[in-house]
Amino acid sequence: MIRKAATGDAAELAWFKSSYSDSSDPNDCVEVATAPGTIHVRDSKYNTQGPRFAVTAAAWTDFLQLVEEA
């Protein structure tokens, strides 16, 4: 897992609401952004200043498979 994106990377990412985010409140969801080989994840409530993390594309795929099985 990558805990912090390199400086400047976050501003260049195109964030969107995850289709797995189930909230009716647009300010209360999970947002993701893709980069080559990496998926970035953040909470929409803290989109500019809050924490975010990044995982490999393979780790994200594994996570989504677990979510679908649950």
Locate 56 and state its tokens: 């490999």
pTM of the model: 0.69
φ, ψ at 38 (rounded to 5°):
-140, 140
What pLDDT digit, counting tens, does each position of 38-69 carry?
Answer: 999 988 887 777 888 999 999 999 998 998 88
Helix or strand holding residue 31 (H, E): strand 30-35
Specify the pLDDT at position 17: 81
Question: Computed from CA positions of residues 7, 8, 14, 15, in that sequence, does the dihedral angle turn out positive or negative?
Answer: positive
Given a cut of 90, is residue 2 above it in pLDDT? no
If you average pLDDT over residues 21-41, what whole number do you get? 81
